[in-house]
Chains A and B, each alone.
Chain A
Amino acid sequence: MNGTRVYRVDLDALQARFALRVTSRLSEQTEKLPHDLSERLRVAREQAVARARQLRLAQPATAPALQVSQGSIALGQPVSGWLRVASVLPLLLLVLGLMLIQHLHNQAEIHAAAEVDAALLADDLPPEAYSDPGFVVFLKQHEQ
């Protein structure tokens, strides 16, 4: 059992050594790539680095703009949870305000209806009189 493990370790080490010898030859071969291929790879690399630089330079241009509108956000930080919360806050306040207005409006309507009911009930004339067609005609004649 122990002998098998030792053999396995030896074999792994030999495999790794063999593989590294092969890949060192591949590296040697790869260093001799034709000039045009090497140049095209160089140009591709430079384009990639330029692209990364371009994106990196574009980032600070947007960060201060965010900072101006949200004074508590630190400079250079990516869009954070705080910024998201801050951007949702005005909408939340608007919705709460509308709900408050609706509630106050309902309360006013209930209050007005209660006042009318109280006036009717407190009057000497019974409320049923208003559903009597003859009484309505009497009122119209008096208005004229």
Chain B
Amino acid sequence: MANDKELSDFLKSAEKRAFKRTAYAVRDEDAALDIVQDSMIRLAEKYADRPVAELPLIFGRILSNATMDWFRRQKVRQAAVQNFSDLESGAEDGDFDLLEALESVDGSWASQGPSERLSREQTLAIIDAEVSALPARQREAFLLRYWEELDTAETALVMGCSEGSVKTHCSRAVHALAKALAAKGLKP
């Protein structure tokens, strides 16, 4: 059972990422803050007696549900469904060499090539924008898997889809980000 300090520490560690993830989805900072606040209250009211180790998964699920509720309330579910569609194509990249782009991450983005001329803030802003531009399901899978550090099964549980879908979304997201960042000169 999580005590007050453990609950507070967990929320403190998760709140900014939660806000950012939600803001990516709803594109509205005030709405994202409301959703995160509602999710925190729901977690505190119904799941504060759960072990600390379970909180990240539960909070992720609550946040996803709260975000979907927000879309429903906004009566733009059709748009959300369209955004959340699994039909994004990741296979039309022609001669883009993913392996080459990914291998380049062993070097430093900020030390070579055109990125030398970019300030650190610009680099961060570009990455932020490219993550924001990902299709919603890809972004959700990517952030849950690699930012929240959930495993594939947990990510699938939060997203309400299969583990295979999570792997596909993550792979496509990485592919799209690698390509977009490479096009911006963020590679060795």
Residue B158 at the A interface, CB < 8 A? no
- Give the distance to chain B from A24, nearest Cβ to Cβ, in Å: 9
Residue B7 at the A interface, CB < 8 A? yes
Report which of A11, A15, A33, A48 forms a contact with B41, defined as CB distance below 8 A.
A48
A72 to B146, CA, bound (A): 50
Q: Is the CB of B143 within 8 A of A23?
A: yes
Residue B145 at the A interface, CB < 8 A? yes
- Which of B19, B44, B98 is most buried by chain A, counting CB atoms within 10 A of its CB? B44
Closest B residue to A59 by beta carbon equals B49
Asked, given contacts A37-B29, A41-B16, whether A49 binds B127 with beta carbons under 8 Å apart, the answer is no
Chain A residues with CB under 8 Å of B37's CB are 40, 44, 47-48
Q: Is the CB of B99 within 8 A of A44?
A: no
Chain A residues with CB under 8 Å of B7's CB are 48-49, 52
Q: Is the CB of B19 within 8 A of A37?
A: yes
Q: Is the CB of B131 within 8 A of A18?
A: no
Chain A residues with CB under 8 Å of B45's CB are 51-52, 55
- Size category of the B interface is 35 or more
- Give the distance to chain A from B168, nearest Cβ to Cβ, in Å: 12
Q: Is the CB of B124 within 8 A of A29?
A: yes
A51 to B44, CA, bound (A): 6
Interface of B, secondary structure class, is helix
Asked, given contacts A19-B146, A23-B143, A25-B123, whether A44 binds B48 with beta carbons under 8 Å apart, the answer is no
- Which of B49, B142, B174 is most buried by chain A, counting CB atoms within 10 A of its CB? B174
- Produce 1/0 per residue, B2-36, CB < 8 A to A: 00100110011001110110000000010001001
Report which of B8, B15, B128 forms a contact with A29, defined as CB distance below 8 A.
B128
Asked, given contacts A27-B147, A52-B7, whether A18 binds B174 with beta carbons under 8 Å apart, the answer is yes
- Give the distance to chain B from A92, nearest Cβ to Cβ, in Å: 33
Residue A143 at the B interface, CB < 8 A? no
Q: Is the CB of B102 within 8 A of A18?
A: yes
Chain B residues with CB under 8 Å of A40's CB are 33, 37
Known: A18-B105, A26-B128. 7 other contacts (CB 8 A): A14-B103, A17-B102, A17-B105, A19-B146, A20-B146, A33-B20, A48-B11
A-B contact pairs, 19 of them (CB 8 A): A15-B174, A22-B127, A22-B181, A23-B143, A25-B123, A26-B20, A26-B143, A29-B125, A30-B17, A30-B19, A30-B20, A33-B16, A33-B20, A44-B33, A45-B11, A47-B40, A51-B45, A52-B7, A55-B48
